[in-house]
Amino acid sequence: MTGSKAGYILDRKIFDRELVRQAAEAGADVMVKTRAAEPIMEEGAVRGAVLERGGMRERGSADMTISVGGV
């Protein structure tokens, strides 16, 4: 190791699976094969999302909304 910097490598599939498990245990609703099409905004805050799955659209409201898409 050079200097005082350190790097970490993790297995993304195992890491993601563990995050989902912990979220579900904490009471989160986990939805796979579901896309958040647009946020539901109320009083300037995100209160859920319009969800698309199986060709259908539905509104999902929540006290907390977390987007986990992307790299």
pLDDT given at position 65: 80
1 pLDDT higher than 60? no
Give the predicted TM-score (pTM) of the model.
Answer: 0.63
- Cα three-residue angle 31-43-41, rounded to 5 degrees: 30
Q: Which residue would you say has higher pLDDT here, 64 or 3? A: 64
The residues spanned by each domain of the chain are: 31-71
List, for residues 2-59, the tens digit of each pLDDT value: 678 888 999 999 998 999 999 999 998 888 899 889 999 999 999 999 999 999 999 9
